[in-house]
A and B are shown apart, each in its own frame.
Chain A
Protein backbone atom coordinates (compact mmCIF):
# COMPACT_ATOMS: atom_id res chain seq x y z
CA UNK A 1 0.00 0.00 0.00
CA UNK A 2 1.44 3.31 -1.07
CA UNK A 3 -0.65 6.30 -0.05
CA UNK A 4 1.40 8.90 -1.90
CA UNK A 5 1.27 6.93 -5.15
CA UNK A 6 -2.49 6.41 -4.84
CA UNK A 7 -3.10 10.13 -4.38
CA UNK A 8 -0.84 10.98 -7.31
CA UNK A 9 -2.80 8.53 -9.48
CA UNK A 10 -6.20 9.82 -8.36
CA UNK A 11 -5.33 13.48 -8.77
CA UNK A 12 -3.12 13.42 -11.88
CA UNK A 13 -1.83 10.35 -13.69
CA UNK A 14 -5.03 8.28 -13.43
CA UNK A 15 -7.58 11.06 -12.87
CA UNK A 16 -11.10 9.64 -13.33
CA UNK A 17 -12.36 12.33 -15.70
CA UNK A 18 -9.27 13.63 -17.49
CA UNK A 19 -7.39 10.35 -17.99
CA UNK A 20 -9.85 7.46 -17.53
CA UNK A 21 -12.51 9.51 -19.37
CA UNK A 22 -15.44 8.29 -17.27
CA UNK A 23 -18.22 10.06 -15.41
CA UNK A 24 -18.46 12.86 -17.93
CA UNK A 25 -22.23 13.45 -18.04
CA UNK A 26 -22.46 15.11 -14.65
CA UNK A 27 -19.11 16.82 -15.16
CA UNK A 28 -20.49 18.75 -18.10
CA UNK A 29 -24.04 19.16 -16.88
CA UNK A 30 -23.76 20.68 -13.42
CA UNK A 31 -20.57 22.74 -13.57
CA UNK A 32 -22.24 26.12 -13.98
CA UNK A 33 -21.51 27.47 -10.50
CA UNK A 34 -18.93 26.62 -7.86
CA UNK A 35 -21.66 25.68 -5.36
CA UNK A 36 -22.95 22.90 -7.63
CA UNK A 37 -19.46 21.68 -8.48
CA UNK A 38 -18.23 21.40 -4.89
CA UNK A 39 -21.53 19.88 -3.73
CA UNK A 40 -21.53 17.25 -6.47
CA UNK A 41 -17.83 16.49 -6.00
CA UNK A 42 -18.17 15.96 -2.25
CA UNK A 43 -21.31 13.82 -2.68
CA UNK A 44 -19.45 11.56 -5.12
CA UNK A 45 -16.41 11.46 -2.82
CA UNK A 46 -18.50 10.28 0.14
CA UNK A 47 -20.46 7.70 -1.89
CA UNK A 48 -17.32 6.44 -3.61
CA UNK A 49 -15.44 5.99 -0.33
CA UNK A 50 -18.35 4.16 1.35
CA UNK A 51 -18.94 1.90 -1.66
CA UNK A 52 -15.24 1.13 -1.98
CA UNK A 53 -15.05 0.02 1.65
CA UNK A 54 -18.20 -2.13 1.47
CA UNK A 55 -17.30 -3.74 -1.86
CA UNK A 56 -13.79 -4.46 -0.64
CA UNK A 57 -15.19 -6.04 2.56
CA UNK A 58 -17.51 -8.25 0.52
CA UNK A 59 -15.06 -9.07 -2.26
CA UNK A 60 -14.41 -12.64 -1.11
CA UNK A 61 -18.10 -13.51 -0.62
CA UNK A 62 -19.50 -12.10 -3.89
CA UNK A 63 -19.77 -14.72 -6.66
CA UNK A 64 -18.12 -13.55 -9.88
CA UNK A 65 -21.14 -13.92 -12.17
CA UNK A 66 -23.47 -11.58 -10.33
CA UNK A 67 -20.92 -9.13 -8.94
CA UNK A 68 -22.08 -6.19 -11.09
CA UNK A 69 -25.66 -6.52 -9.88
CA UNK A 70 -24.44 -6.55 -6.27
CA UNK A 71 -22.21 -3.51 -6.83
CA UNK A 72 -25.17 -1.63 -8.30
CA UNK A 73 -27.36 -2.46 -5.31
CA UNK A 74 -24.66 -1.31 -2.85
CA UNK A 75 -24.15 1.91 -4.80
CA UNK A 76 -27.89 2.59 -5.11
CA UNK A 77 -28.22 2.17 -1.34
CA UNK A 78 -25.54 4.75 -0.55
CA UNK A 79 -26.83 7.15 -3.22
CA UNK A 80 -30.32 6.97 -1.71
CA UNK A 81 -28.87 7.76 1.74
CA UNK A 82 -26.95 10.78 0.44
CA UNK A 83 -29.94 11.93 -1.63
CA UNK A 84 -32.25 11.86 1.41
CA UNK A 85 -29.64 13.59 3.62
CA UNK A 86 -29.17 16.38 1.06
CA UNK A 87 -32.94 16.85 0.70
CA UNK A 88 -33.19 17.21 4.47
CA UNK A 89 -30.16 19.35 5.28
CA UNK A 90 -29.02 21.12 2.08
CA UNK A 91 -32.24 21.52 0.06
CA UNK A 92 -30.67 24.26 -2.11
CA UNK A 93 -28.08 21.80 -3.42
CA UNK A 94 -30.68 19.09 -3.92
CA UNK A 95 -32.80 21.51 -6.00
CA UNK A 96 -29.84 22.75 -8.04
CA UNK A 97 -28.52 19.29 -8.94
CA UNK A 98 -31.98 17.75 -9.53
CA UNK A 99 -31.84 14.30 -11.12
CA UNK A 100 -28.05 14.31 -11.13
CA UNK A 101 -27.90 13.20 -7.47
CA UNK A 102 -29.88 9.96 -8.03
CA UNK A 103 -27.97 9.58 -11.29
CA UNK A 104 -24.74 9.08 -9.31
CA UNK A 105 -25.95 5.44 -9.26
CA UNK A 106 -24.98 5.12 -12.91
CA UNK A 107 -21.83 7.23 -12.63
CA UNK A 108 -19.17 4.99 -14.16
CA UNK A 109 -16.52 6.20 -11.69
CA UNK A 110 -18.04 4.31 -8.78
CA UNK A 111 -18.81 1.03 -10.52
CA UNK A 112 -15.50 1.33 -12.39
CA UNK A 113 -13.47 1.61 -9.18
CA UNK A 114 -15.45 -1.21 -7.58
CA UNK A 115 -14.66 -3.48 -10.52
CA UNK A 116 -11.08 -2.39 -11.22
CA UNK A 117 -9.72 -1.73 -7.74
CA UNK A 118 -11.84 -2.81 -4.77
CA UNK A 119 -12.57 -6.33 -5.95
CA UNK A 120 -8.80 -6.97 -5.89
CA UNK A 121 -7.51 -4.87 -2.99
CA UNK A 122 -7.86 -4.67 0.79
CA UNK A 123 -10.15 -2.42 2.80
CA UNK A 124 -7.58 0.22 3.77
CA UNK A 125 -6.22 0.58 0.23
CA UNK A 126 -9.79 0.84 -1.12
CA UNK A 127 -10.63 3.52 1.44
CA UNK A 128 -7.61 5.61 0.37
CA UNK A 129 -8.47 4.97 -3.28
CA UNK A 130 -12.01 6.28 -2.74
CA UNK A 131 -10.71 9.49 -1.20
CA UNK A 132 -7.98 9.98 -3.83
CA UNK A 133 -10.27 9.35 -6.83
CA UNK A 134 -13.07 11.39 -5.26
CA UNK A 135 -10.71 14.31 -4.70
CA UNK A 136 -9.48 14.03 -8.29
CA UNK A 137 -13.10 14.19 -9.49
CA UNK A 138 -13.90 17.15 -7.23
CA UNK A 139 -10.84 19.07 -8.45
CA UNK A 140 -11.84 18.61 -12.10
CA UNK A 141 -15.39 19.77 -11.32
CA UNK A 142 -14.00 22.83 -9.52
CA UNK A 143 -11.70 23.66 -12.45
CA UNK A 144 -14.63 23.35 -14.88
CA UNK A 145 -16.83 25.54 -12.66
CA UNK A 146 -14.09 28.14 -12.33
CA UNK A 147 -13.59 28.46 -16.09
CA UNK A 148 -17.26 28.36 -17.09
CA UNK A 149 -18.49 30.63 -14.34
CA UNK A 150 -15.76 33.21 -14.83
CA UNK A 151 -16.17 33.39 -18.61
CA UNK A 152 -19.93 32.95 -18.58
CA UNK A 153 -21.08 35.27 -15.84
CA UNK A 154 -17.94 37.06 -14.67
CA UNK A 155 -17.96 35.73 -11.12
CA UNK A 156 -16.00 33.28 -8.99
CA UNK A 157 -17.41 30.94 -6.37
CA UNK A 158 -21.11 31.55 -7.09
CA UNK A 159 -23.36 30.23 -4.31
CA UNK A 160 -20.41 29.39 -2.11
CA UNK A 161 -18.78 32.72 -1.25
CA UNK A 162 -20.57 35.79 0.04
CA UNK A 163 -18.74 39.12 0.21
CA UNK A 164 -21.73 41.41 0.76
CA UNK A 165 -21.66 40.82 4.54
CA UNK A 166 -17.95 40.33 5.00
CA UNK A 167 -16.05 37.44 3.48
CA UNK A 168 -17.72 34.18 4.47
CA UNK A 169 -18.65 30.82 3.06
CA UNK A 170 -22.33 30.15 2.51
CA UNK A 171 -23.37 26.53 2.67
CA UNK A 172 -26.97 27.12 1.58
CA UNK A 173 -26.13 28.41 -1.88
CA UNK A 174 -27.20 32.00 -1.15
CA UNK A 175 -23.85 33.77 -1.70
CA UNK A 176 -23.49 35.77 -4.89
CA UNK A 177 -19.81 35.01 -5.44
CA UNK A 178 -17.04 37.48 -6.24
CA UNK A 179 -17.95 39.52 -9.32
CA UNK A 180 -14.83 40.07 -11.44
CA UNK A 181 -16.64 41.88 -14.27
CA UNK A 182 -20.32 42.71 -14.82
CA UNK A 183 -22.30 39.62 -15.76
CA UNK A 184 -23.80 41.20 -18.89
CA UNK A 185 -20.32 41.17 -20.47
CA UNK A 186 -19.97 37.41 -19.92
CA UNK A 187 -20.03 34.88 -22.74
CA UNK A 188 -23.47 33.38 -22.13
CA UNK A 189 -22.59 30.29 -24.20
CA UNK A 190 -20.11 29.09 -21.58
CA UNK A 191 -22.96 28.44 -19.13
CA UNK A 192 -24.97 26.59 -21.81
CA UNK A 193 -24.28 22.96 -22.92
CA UNK A 194 -21.92 24.19 -25.64
CA UNK A 195 -19.56 25.56 -22.99
CA UNK A 196 -19.62 22.26 -21.10
CA UNK A 197 -18.43 20.25 -24.11
CA UNK A 198 -15.81 22.84 -25.07
CA UNK A 199 -14.35 23.32 -21.59
CA UNK A 200 -14.04 19.59 -20.93
CA UNK A 201 -12.51 19.06 -24.40
CA UNK A 202 -9.94 21.76 -23.73
CA UNK A 203 -9.12 20.41 -20.24
CA UNK A 204 -8.59 16.83 -21.51
CA UNK A 205 -6.43 18.17 -24.34
CA UNK A 206 -4.36 20.11 -21.78
CA UNK A 207 -3.97 16.96 -19.70
CA UNK A 208 -2.87 14.92 -22.73
CA UNK A 209 -0.35 17.66 -23.58
CA UNK A 210 1.11 17.67 -20.06
CA UNK A 211 1.31 13.86 -19.84
CA UNK A 212 2.90 13.61 -23.29
CA UNK A 213 5.50 16.29 -22.48
CA UNK A 214 6.45 14.66 -19.19
CA UNK A 215 6.76 11.26 -20.89
CA UNK A 216 8.99 12.77 -23.60
CA UNK A 217 11.16 14.46 -20.98
CA UNK A 218 11.56 11.18 -19.12
CA UNK A 219 12.56 9.36 -22.31
CA UNK A 220 15.07 12.07 -23.18
CA UNK A 221 16.60 11.85 -19.73
CA UNK A 222 16.89 8.07 -19.90
CA UNK A 223 18.44 8.28 -23.37
CA UNK A 224 21.01 10.78 -22.09
CA UNK A 225 21.87 8.54 -19.16
CA UNK A 226 22.39 5.62 -21.52
CA UNK A 227 24.66 7.75 -23.72
CA UNK A 228 26.77 8.85 -20.78
Chain B
Protein backbone atom coordinates (compact mmCIF):
# COMPACT_ATOMS: atom_id res chain seq x y z
CA UNK B 1 0.00 0.00 0.00
CA UNK B 2 2.72 2.42 1.05
CA UNK B 3 4.85 1.55 -1.96
CA UNK B 4 1.96 2.05 -4.35
CA UNK B 5 1.17 5.45 -2.80
CA UNK B 6 4.84 6.39 -3.01
CA UNK B 7 5.02 5.42 -6.65
CA UNK B 8 1.83 7.38 -7.41
CA UNK B 9 3.27 10.42 -5.64
CA UNK B 10 6.69 10.35 -7.30
CA UNK B 11 5.03 9.63 -10.63
CA UNK B 12 2.71 12.60 -10.34
CA UNK B 13 5.37 15.05 -9.17
CA UNK B 14 8.35 14.11 -11.30
CA UNK B 15 7.94 11.38 -13.88
CA UNK B 16 4.50 12.16 -15.27
CA UNK B 17 4.40 15.78 -14.22
CA UNK B 18 1.00 17.26 -15.09
CA UNK B 19 2.45 20.13 -17.09
CA UNK B 20 5.65 18.81 -18.57
CA UNK B 21 4.55 15.39 -19.65
CA UNK B 22 0.76 15.43 -19.78
CA UNK B 23 0.07 19.03 -20.86
CA UNK B 24 -2.68 19.45 -18.28
CA UNK B 25 -3.12 22.95 -16.87
CA UNK B 26 -1.09 24.90 -19.38
CA UNK B 27 -3.29 28.03 -19.41
CA UNK B 28 -2.67 29.15 -15.79
CA UNK B 29 0.87 27.79 -16.09
CA UNK B 30 1.58 30.31 -18.85
CA UNK B 31 -0.76 33.01 -17.56
CA UNK B 32 0.14 33.34 -13.87
CA UNK B 33 3.88 32.75 -13.97
CA UNK B 34 5.21 36.30 -14.18
CA UNK B 35 6.13 36.45 -10.47
CA UNK B 36 7.22 33.70 -8.07
CA UNK B 37 4.87 34.84 -5.25
CA UNK B 38 1.75 34.76 -7.40
CA UNK B 39 2.82 31.45 -8.92
CA UNK B 40 3.18 29.98 -5.44
CA UNK B 41 -0.30 31.16 -4.45
CA UNK B 42 -1.81 29.80 -7.64
CA UNK B 43 -0.03 26.46 -7.17
CA UNK B 44 -1.33 26.12 -3.61
CA UNK B 45 -4.89 27.02 -4.62
CA UNK B 46 -4.79 24.47 -7.46
CA UNK B 47 -3.33 21.80 -5.16
CA UNK B 48 -6.16 22.36 -2.68
CA UNK B 49 -8.85 22.23 -5.37
CA UNK B 50 -7.31 19.13 -6.95
CA UNK B 51 -7.14 17.27 -3.64
CA UNK B 52 -10.68 18.20 -2.62
CA UNK B 53 -12.22 17.47 -6.01
CA UNK B 54 -10.47 14.08 -6.18
CA UNK B 55 -12.07 13.16 -2.86
CA UNK B 56 -15.55 14.50 -3.67
CA UNK B 57 -15.61 13.14 -7.20
CA UNK B 58 -14.60 9.68 -5.96
CA UNK B 59 -17.77 9.61 -3.86
CA UNK B 60 -19.88 10.96 -6.74
CA UNK B 61 -18.43 8.38 -9.15
CA UNK B 62 -19.51 5.62 -6.78
CA UNK B 63 -22.97 7.16 -6.53
CA UNK B 64 -23.33 7.51 -10.31
CA UNK B 65 -22.16 3.93 -10.85
CA UNK B 66 -24.73 2.67 -8.37
CA UNK B 67 -27.46 4.55 -10.23
CA UNK B 68 -26.16 3.46 -13.65
CA UNK B 69 -25.55 7.05 -14.73
CA UNK B 70 -21.84 6.80 -15.60
CA UNK B 71 -22.34 8.89 -18.73
CA UNK B 72 -23.29 11.89 -16.59
CA UNK B 73 -19.78 11.82 -15.05
CA UNK B 74 -18.21 14.76 -16.88
CA UNK B 75 -21.20 16.99 -16.18
CA UNK B 76 -21.27 16.13 -12.46
CA UNK B 77 -17.51 16.59 -12.02
CA UNK B 78 -17.43 20.01 -13.62
CA UNK B 79 -20.25 21.24 -11.39
CA UNK B 80 -18.46 19.99 -8.27
CA UNK B 81 -15.22 21.65 -9.35
CA UNK B 82 -17.00 24.93 -10.12
CA UNK B 83 -18.55 25.10 -6.67
CA UNK B 84 -15.23 24.20 -4.98
CA UNK B 85 -13.50 27.01 -6.83
CA UNK B 86 -16.24 29.38 -5.74
CA UNK B 87 -15.52 28.33 -2.15
CA UNK B 88 -11.78 28.96 -2.50
CA UNK B 89 -12.51 32.33 -4.09
CA UNK B 90 -14.74 33.39 -1.20
CA UNK B 91 -12.15 32.19 1.34
CA UNK B 92 -9.28 34.08 -0.30
CA UNK B 93 -11.33 37.24 -0.78
CA UNK B 94 -12.11 37.34 2.91
CA UNK B 95 -8.80 36.17 4.40
CA UNK B 96 -5.95 36.89 1.93
CA UNK B 97 -7.18 39.83 -0.18
CA UNK B 98 -3.69 40.61 -1.55
CA UNK B 99 -3.38 37.15 -3.11
CA UNK B 100 -6.99 37.40 -4.27
CA UNK B 101 -6.33 40.56 -6.23
CA UNK B 102 -3.03 39.38 -7.73
CA UNK B 103 -4.56 36.14 -9.01
CA UNK B 104 -7.32 38.19 -10.64
CA UNK B 105 -9.18 36.56 -13.48
CA UNK B 106 -7.16 33.35 -13.15
CA UNK B 107 -8.81 32.44 -9.85
CA UNK B 108 -12.31 31.71 -11.24
CA UNK B 109 -10.51 30.18 -14.22
CA UNK B 110 -9.24 27.33 -12.00
CA UNK B 111 -12.63 25.85 -12.87
CA UNK B 112 -11.52 25.57 -16.46
CA UNK B 113 -8.05 24.34 -15.50
CA UNK B 114 -7.70 21.03 -17.29
CA UNK B 115 -5.42 19.72 -14.54
CA UNK B 116 -8.35 19.65 -12.11
CA UNK B 117 -10.86 17.91 -14.35
CA UNK B 118 -7.97 15.87 -15.76
CA UNK B 119 -6.98 14.43 -12.39
CA UNK B 120 -10.59 13.42 -11.70
CA UNK B 121 -10.94 11.71 -15.08
CA UNK B 122 -7.56 9.98 -14.69
CA UNK B 123 -8.61 8.70 -11.25
CA UNK B 124 -11.65 7.10 -12.83
CA UNK B 125 -9.65 5.78 -15.79
CA UNK B 126 -6.98 4.20 -13.57
CA UNK B 127 -9.70 2.94 -11.17
CA UNK B 128 -7.88 4.22 -8.11
CA UNK B 129 -9.44 3.63 -4.68
CA UNK B 130 -10.28 6.53 -2.34
CA UNK B 131 -6.84 6.94 -0.74
CA UNK B 132 -5.03 6.56 -4.06
CA UNK B 133 -7.34 9.13 -5.68
CA UNK B 134 -6.72 11.71 -2.98
CA UNK B 135 -2.97 11.04 -3.06
CA UNK B 136 -2.90 11.40 -6.84
CA UNK B 137 -4.91 14.64 -6.60
CA UNK B 138 -2.67 16.24 -3.98
CA UNK B 139 0.63 15.11 -5.46
CA UNK B 140 -0.53 16.06 -8.94
CA UNK B 141 -1.22 19.52 -7.54
CA UNK B 142 2.24 19.55 -5.95
CA UNK B 143 3.72 18.65 -9.34
CA UNK B 144 1.87 21.62 -10.80
CA UNK B 145 3.20 23.79 -7.94
CA UNK B 146 6.80 22.69 -8.57
CA UNK B 147 6.43 23.29 -12.30
CA UNK B 148 4.85 26.74 -12.04
CA UNK B 149 7.31 27.99 -9.38
CA UNK B 150 10.33 26.77 -11.37
CA UNK B 151 8.91 28.34 -14.51
CA UNK B 152 8.14 31.66 -12.77
CA UNK B 153 11.73 31.94 -11.58
CA UNK B 154 12.93 31.28 -15.13
CA UNK B 155 10.55 33.93 -16.45
CA UNK B 156 11.75 36.55 -13.96
CA UNK B 157 15.19 36.18 -15.52
CA UNK B 158 13.77 36.31 -19.03
CA UNK B 159 13.02 40.02 -18.61
CA UNK B 160 16.74 40.70 -18.97
CA UNK B 161 17.27 38.38 -21.92
CA UNK B 162 17.50 39.47 -25.52
CA UNK B 163 15.49 37.62 -28.10
CA UNK B 164 13.93 38.31 -31.52
CA UNK B 165 11.04 40.79 -31.36
CA UNK B 166 8.53 38.28 -32.76
CA UNK B 167 9.18 35.98 -29.80
CA UNK B 168 7.98 38.59 -27.32
CA UNK B 169 5.39 37.40 -24.80
CA UNK B 170 4.02 33.91 -25.17
CA UNK B 171 6.43 32.38 -27.73
CA UNK B 172 9.56 32.87 -25.61
CA UNK B 173 7.64 31.56 -22.58
CA UNK B 174 6.67 28.46 -24.55
CA UNK B 175 10.25 27.92 -25.66
CA UNK B 176 11.52 28.15 -22.07
CA UNK B 177 8.75 25.80 -20.96
CA UNK B 178 9.93 23.41 -23.68
CA UNK B 179 13.45 23.46 -22.29
CA UNK B 180 12.10 22.77 -18.78
CA UNK B 181 10.09 19.89 -20.23
CA UNK B 182 13.33 18.57 -21.72
CA UNK B 183 14.91 18.69 -18.26
CA UNK B 184 11.94 16.86 -16.74
CA UNK B 185 12.30 14.19 -19.42
CA UNK B 186 15.35 13.07 -17.50
CA UNK B 187 12.97 11.51 -14.98
CA UNK B 188 11.01 9.59 -17.59
CA UNK B 189 13.33 6.59 -17.51
CA UNK B 190 12.94 6.20 -13.77
CA UNK B 191 11.09 3.15 -12.60
CA UNK B 192 9.89 2.65 -9.05
CA UNK B 193 9.60 -0.89 -7.81
Name A's B-contacting residues (CB within 8 A).
Answer: 21-22, 24-26, 28-29, 68-69, 72-73, 76-77, 79-80, 83-84, 98-99, 102-103, 105-108, 111, 189, 192-198, 200-202, 204-206, 208-209, 212
Are A25 and B182 in contact, with the CB atoms below 8 A?
A: no
Are A192 and B72 in contact, with the CB atoms below 8 A?
A: no
Are B111 and A196 in contact, with the CB atoms below 8 A?
A: no
Instruction: Return the contact of B121 from the options A24, A25, A102, A108 (Cβ within 8 A).
Output: A102
Contacts of B78 in A (CB 8 A): 72, 76, 105-106
Name B's A-contacting residues (CB within 8 A).
Answer: 20-27, 30, 71-75, 78-79, 82, 108-109, 111-114, 116-118, 121-122, 125, 164-175, 177-179, 181-182, 185
Tell which of B113, B171, B177 has the most Cβ of chain A within 10 Å.
B171
Are B175 and A106 in contact, with the CB atoms below 8 A?
A: no
Closest to A21 in B: B170
Instruction: Return the contact of B74 from the options A79, A107, A200 (Cβ within 8 A).
Output: A79
Closest to A87 in B: B71
Contacts of A208 in B (CB 8 A): 166-169, 171
Are B114 and A204 in contact, with the CB atoms below 8 A?
A: no
Closest to A81 in B: B71
Contacts of A105 in B (CB 8 A): 74, 78, 117
Q: Given A24-B27, A73-B75, A106-B112, A197 and B168 touching (CB < 8 A)? A: no
Are B185 and A198 in contact, with the CB atoms below 8 A?
A: no
What's the Cα separation between A111 and B111 when bound, in Å? 11
Q: Given A102-B74, A192-B185, A193-B181, A205 and B26 touching (CB < 8 A)? A: no
What's the Cα separation between A202 and B178 when bound, in Å? 11
Sort A-B residue pairs by CB-CB distance and give the 6 closest, nearest first.
A197-B178, A201-B174, A29-B23, A205-B171, A209-B166, A76-B75
- Taking A21-B30, A107-B114, A193-B21 as known contacts, 19 extra A-B pairs with beta carbons closer than 8 A to each other, sorted by chain A number, are A29-B23, A69-B82, A72-B78, A76-B75, A79-B74, A103-B118, A111-B112, A193-B23, A194-B182, A196-B23, A196-B178, A197-B177, A200-B174, A201-B167, A201-B173, A201-B178, A202-B171, A204-B170, A208-B167
Q: How far is the CB of B108 from chain A (nearest CB, A)?
A: 8
Closest to B115 in A: A25
Q: How far is the CB of B69 from chain A (nearest CB, A)?
A: 11
What's the Cα separation between A29 and B22 when bound, in Å? 7
Are B117 and A205 in contact, with the CB atoms below 8 A?
A: no
Contacts of A84 in B (CB 8 A): 71
Are B112 and A212 in contact, with the CB atoms below 8 A?
A: no
Q: Given A76-B75, A111-B112, A197-B177, A99 and B121 touching (CB < 8 A)? A: yes
Instruction: Return the contact of A99 from the options B20, B122, B182 (Cβ within 8 A).
Output: B122
Are B166 and A198 in contact, with the CB atoms below 8 A?
A: no
Are B117 and A103 in contact, with the CB atoms below 8 A?
A: yes
Contacts of B166 in A (CB 8 A): 205-206, 208-209, 212
14 A-B residue pairings within 8 Å (CB atoms): A25-B26, A26-B114, A72-B78, A72-B111, A105-B78, A106-B78, A107-B112, A107-B114, A198-B174, A201-B171, A204-B174, A205-B167, A209-B166, A212-B165
